Structure 1
């Protein structure tokens, strides 16, 4: 696990100080060591967090004649078997690292052939001096980040945008088109980031850069196609694939722990991993503490559990630091507990397993059609899903016009085409609301409809609307929010976070599961929960999804923090983006209890904090402890049965 950065720029004659300054900006991703490769055209820089082959895995790594070089961020879980094949083919290895397997694999199989063989999470760069070409690839789901910047003869690529700030030819400009869709999605929803001319290499894609030309190509995508397995066969297949994935993800030469919440996803992973350490987090508001349920499960499994409490004061004091590490504004409140949770775990372990991806692969979100607690309504809506498309659409349009009644939303989402109502797991501001708040210069952006339709067009042949929604979330919400914050906020604390659900072998199983085994009158993620119940205490896997509950509502109605947020809204420079009277009224009305505007306030607050960090302040935020807090985490040690 590392941080990588590189640039191709003939105009920079002395590349060494430039690449070193860029590497320093991502030192948190790899505090153990660094390395670089420089020639007259380009430079590669690497920061290492040592996990596999602690002594021999230092990068960059070269091939036998040093004509090819690689830097790599991530883990390849099947590298050992590929290494054997490469040795048999005559390749000579100087390390036992997965990095060197990638380099020789590129030589033997080519870039596309290599990508078909590997299993893992990755972002890597290979410079081939024979053809003067830079190759780069990002993993199947986008677990590891990779950004690029291209302007004239300057091309940069790396793990984090902040590294680009130290290149003399980087022009730091705000992408004005990013703000409006952000207000809807709560995260950066466009291909171009909040920094102008900085883009993401999409998940499941690789690029080549040669003689000034950049070419990006897709090599993998999720394809849902229902199989004919029975329910029991499906549960067997899920359990087998996840057990094998967890076993692969435990590979490490350093301690491995597990994040543990009250939900089924992390509980399932923890029950299979059985690590020495598990970690949980909560808040000083007692309604928002998952540590109690997590400790209960840890006790039942005979595992140690360490938990901590995040105070409102340290959440606000360190929110600028959190947004700094994210590179772009992310208004998902779960960023706060995730940062503190990985900070807690980093005291004991370097690698942590987590449950991201289960909801997208196994249909766990309520928005897929699980809006009612009534079994009768759920069963009825299940039946409606099987009606002819034209009949369903007509029925949905009728339901949409009806006065609200219990179960209406459940019935509507079961019958309406996904394209008509679903934009992903977050919808904070409607675009019409955004237009009333934003200054004219920030109203002109790609419509949210066009953003999501780009994904829907890829699955236009799907007859199952739940599968369409899953596909959209995989490429929009998960790639743009869930996985980016998981990577950035764990690496902020120099930790590697691994996600066993997001394994391409698990994905093969998930892609074939009929929706009726995932979402039905009994539960969401039904088949996966049944698989998890084989390893968890009775009915634990049926617990409702909570995510990371965060007391934003209470914070914004606490005078001290309301004033802090309001003061930011009242800054003169905020007028550049927003109708200041309108956003001040929003926060005042929320504080007075006239509206529940917590998420809208939080999303605006997040953007302003982020903008202040990157475009106004001239210092990197530092961690600020809460002096009034008891700093000792609670460690519960249980003797195994």
Structure 2
């Protein structure tokens, strides 16, 4: 788990190494163990390696460069230094993530004459590319990654993102300059980049808290999509798809008991791979079925390594969430560490969380992930979570309502009505509140891309919904958790999103997935709850996790937070003229009467202005 950033000057202009070093240092949190910089030419088979301390500004003849920050997981020695170079064959790799099946290929590569100097998955990928070529190599990888391979002889740079989008990768092209990085903040340190708000995307972001697809809230800043890669050579830039979530019509013909066995077996296989590493590995445990099941299935390994779980609990006595965590721990039988998410933590780390997320942070629960990762570092460097379980195997609560309350008219009209209702239910705010937040808000443009994604799915409404959640909602969740954990130099692994588990779940019958009242088996997330009942019983498995309670009134009542908002954020919102500042002023004047939805709207506006100060105005985090 690491981070990297790069520059490619398409017209052969020399790379400014001072800028590249600054871009690299911006993501030091992603890899505090080691730093490396390589500059190269994609026209000539030449390169040079640098240390951050090297006093060099610009080198003519080297029009490309990559800066790397390493968090050591496999092979903690200097042998794992990146960017890693195969000096003999002129191939360089910068790799963020983990390839859990990499070591299965080591003996094959050795038999082909490749000599290893490290015990890393990085070096295996470096040689596997040379053996198979880029796309065939990607097909073999089981893991989470954003990787960059530079083939000097082919004069080609490849940049790829994993199948499910667990690891981030962003890119920006301005004229003859192409820059890329694990986080958008690296771009702020490049002289050719100007952060500009894309107003055409603002209404969608306000409504949903994220943007579906490759576009972002910044002009000409794109997220490389899951299952895609970029190919850059002297002839130009191409983006290609190498994998997509299964979208066929095949449905497995298996009974419920067999489906449960298969799911558990596939999760065990995923865990067997994801528990590998040369550092201590634990589990994140919330009150959810997904995280509880992962901790249970990993329990024997955790016990043998003297590892346990970490949990965040709300700042209230005996909350429902804490009771579920305690119950799960009792069943699992391993040590658990619980940390209270206090009002003070929200106040002290609000701006920091926005900075690390790269965009306005509409979900306050992200602060829980930030706290959890920071405290978990006292016990281990990697933890496993239940992320993706709900989107893959449960479906959102509004799925049932959308299916049961389709509008009148012909069949086609009903489908459109159901899709509209389904997408609307996933929004952060209702139309009335959206108009209060942003008086010129336009609803009609906000869901166009989302409808395209939903309607491009094949099969039943349930299968379309499952695919939609994996492509949209899950992406937002993964990026929140990835960036909050990496902010604390912590790796989050997600066993439910092993592509073999995903492929299996995409072929399950509807009746094993959907919510109460639609199937003979009953229960939301039938198959997931069925496996959970085996270990935790029916009462725990059929109850809904309460999640973290967000004490917005307490946060807004905090003297320091209140002063900061009224003295700094409110004038900023007013001057920027995008959102209705009266909404924030009103709620801060009448906190006891503020509803949870109104409080969330105020949070969104405060978060946006904080982000705008950091990214658009380039005010430092310490001064924001």
Shared topology, TM-score over 0.5?
yes
How many Å separate the matches in 1 of 2:492 and 2:570? 38
Matched, 1:509 2:504: yes
1:425, CA displacement in angstroms?
A: 6.8
The alignment yields a C-alpha RMSD, in angstroms, of: 2.9
Contact 1:343 1:490 in 2 (8 A): yes
Q: Is the 8 A contact 1:288 1:550 kept in 2?
A: no
Could you list the per-position Cα deviations for residues 415-441 of structure 1 after superposition, in whole angstroms to 9, with x for gaps in the alignment?
A: 87642212277412356754564376x
Unaligned runs of 5+ in 1: 372-380, 386-391, 401-411, 624-641
- Is the contact between residue 208 and residue 427 of structure 2 (CA under 8 Å) also seen in structure 1? yes
Evaluate the alpha carbon distance shift between residue 594 and residue 533 of structure 1 in structure 2; reply closer, same or farther with a 3 A threshold.
Answer: closer
Separation in 2, partners of 1:311, 1:63: 49
Pairing 1:161–2:184 present: yes
Q: Is the 8 A contact 2:204 2:447 kept in 1?
A: no
Q: How does 1:343-382 map to 2 (within 5 A)?
A: 343-369=374-400
The worse-fitting range, judged by mean Cα deviation, of 584-593 and 307-316 is 584-593
Matches within 5 A, 1:43-54: 43-54=65-76
**2-structure distance, mates of 1:195, 1:116:** 32
What is the aligned partner in structure 2 of residue 15 from structure 1? Answer: 16
The residue number in structure 1 matching 2:201 is 178
Whether 1:609 and 2:610 are equivalent positions in the alignment is yes
Q: Which moved more, 1:594-603 or 1:560-569?
A: 560-569
Deviation at 1:228, TM superposition (A): 0.8
Match of residue 271 from structure 1: 296
CA distance in 2 between counterparts of 1:49 and 1:551 reads: 34
Q: Is the 8 A contact 1:177 1:445 kept in 2?
A: no
* Distance in 1 separating the partners of 2:233 and 2:468: 32
Name the CA distance, whole Å, in 2 between partners of 1:396 and 1:560: 57
Q: How far apart in 1 are the matches of 2:116 and 2:595? A: 67
Do the aligned partners of 2:172 and 2:179 also contact (CA within 8 Å) in 1? Answer: yes
SS in 1 for 2:621: coil
Alignment CA distance shift 1:167-1:425 (3 Å): farther
Please state whether the residue corresponding to 1:265 is helix, strand or coil: helix
TM-score (norm 2): 0.87
CA contact (8 A) 2:36 2:83 kept: yes
Structure with the bigger RCO (C-alpha within 8 Å, sep 6+) is 1
Give deviations 1:94-131, integer Å, cap 9, x for gaps.
Answer: 22211122222222222211111110000000111112
2:134 paired with 1:111: yes
Deviations 1:12-32 (A, max 9, x none): 535322221111110100000
Q: Distance in 1 between matches of 2:128 and 2:596?
A: 58
Q: Secondary structure at the match of 1:130?
A: coil
Whole-angstrom distance in 2 between the partners of 1:364 and 1:529: 12
Cα distance, 1:471 vs structure 2: 1.1
Change (3 A) 1:70 1:472: same
Aligned residue number for residue 322 of structure 1: 353
1:138 aligns with 2:174: no
* More deviation, 236-245/50-59: 50-59
CA contact (8 A) 1:265 1:356 kept: yes
2 CA distance for matches of 1:124 and 1:202?
Answer: 13
Match of 1:222 in 2: 245
**Which stretch has the larger CA shift, 62-71 or 540-549?**
540-549
**How do 1:443-592 residues align onto structure 2 when only pairs under 5 Å count?**
447-459=445-457, 461-462=458-459, 464-479=460-475, 481-519=476-514, 520-521=516-517, 522-536=522-536, 539-556=539-556, 565-567=565-567, 570-576=570-576, 577-585=578-586, 588=589, 591-592=592-593
The residue matched to 1:124 in structure 2 has which SS? strand
CA distance in 1, matches of 2:189, 2:558: 39
Gap change, CA 1:289 and 1:236, over 3 Å in 2: closer
CA contact (8 A) 1:178 1:445 kept: no
Check conservation: 1:148, 1:201, Cα contact below 8 A. Answer: yes
Q: Which residue of 2 aligns with 1:258?
A: 283
Q: What residue ranges of structure 2 are gaps of 5+ in the alignment?
A: 41-61
Deviation of residue 393 (structure 1)? 5.3
For this pair of structures, how many residues does the alignment match? Answer: 586
- For residues 365 and 549 of structure 1, the distance between their equivalents in structure 2, rounded to whole angstroms, comes to 19
